[in-house]
Structure 1
């Protein structure tokens, strides 16, 4: 191809209109995944597992609206193992795209982990992209829990 030849891809079909995801769309995705879910007292949608919960939280207004998907892992860790725990989750964060995991210190001196990923949805997103992302985020949250148990050697 010469340097003055312009390549212009030809669309094979009309692109789908973007959608602005909402809680009902996430519920549909969770139904398709055959997952149990609920809505807490604050109106937040969540899917529970034995050792963690994944929340789907819509934040912001109009064009700045974000969907934050957060996994709250229930296993508590003593503050004394924070350095080791940080080494392990840093390894996860370097090697994976999501969820990004961080520690949260509780008043009783224990640490718990939170995994998080966000997507800007205010102007709309491709439905296909949103569905595949949401499924991937849930699967990755489950995989992190399994991986963490393997790394720490405890259930």
Structure 2
């Protein structure tokens, strides 16, 4: 029988490949605020612990939090809040932009909330690490949360008008 290796395996012509242990394999360990903080420090990131005990810092001007959620702090969430606030009148435009983002991409989850009379835009990437996380898994989630959050805020910055920008239907003076 000839053909691609995967086809031969499916049809029973080749044995399944065996997983060889890698020197990078490590057992998962429980998450903790200290462990997340140690990782951030190892990357040279600056952050503080806020009044709620959460790790937080700014990336490209936007605030990000590293939250441990769940009954045993097994869920790590990287949550970002865009540095801009938008007027309530832009709710429809913001909703369309956020829906487009969520429809076309897996990460981050995007949503908008009303806070103190303005709209605030958030990004979230979460993962459940109930059995624990390896250092590589922790690094991947933090990189994904920060990278895609900053990417989303940058993309929406070009789409959503600033407060000092006149609406498109009014002529410039």
- Which range, TM-score by smaller chain? 0.7 to 0.9
TM (norm. structure 2) is: 0.77
Q: Which has the larger radius of gyration?
A: 2
**Superposition pairs of residues 20-39 of structure 1, within 5 angstroms:** 20-39=30-49
> Could you tell me how far apart the structure 1 residues matched to 2:34 and 2:86 are?
35
Does residue 144 (structure 1) correspond to residue 152 (structure 2)? The answer is: yes
Contact 1:51 1:75 in 2 (8 A): no
- SS of residue matched to 1:105: strand
> Could you tell me how far apart the structure 1 residues matched to 2:129 and 2:48 are?
22
User: Structure 1: any 5+ residue segments left out of the alignment?
Assistant: none
Cα 1:112–1:118 shift into 2, 3 Å:
same
Structure 1 residue 69 displacement after superposition: 1.4
Which 4+ stretches in 1 moved above 4 angstroms? none
Partner of 1:56: 66
Does residue 45 (structure 1) correspond to residue 55 (structure 2)? The answer is: yes
User: Structure 2: any 5+ residue segments left out of the alignment?
Assistant: 1-7, 164-173
Does residue 90 (structure 1) correspond to residue 99 (structure 2)? The answer is: yes
- Structure 1 residues 86-139: Cα deviation after superposition (integer angstroms, max 9, x where no partner): 11111211222221110111242x111111111111211232122122112111
Q: Which has the higher contact order (CA 8 A, sep 6+)?
A: 1
Match of 1:118 among 126, 149, 152: 126
- SS of residue matched to 1:119: strand
> Could you tell me how far apart the structure 1 residues matched to 2:162 and 2:86 are?
11
Contact 1:61 1:122 in 2 (8 A): no
- SS of residue matched to 1:125: coil
**Superposition pairs of residues 6-17 of structure 1, within 5 angstroms:** 7-13=15-21, 15-17=25-27
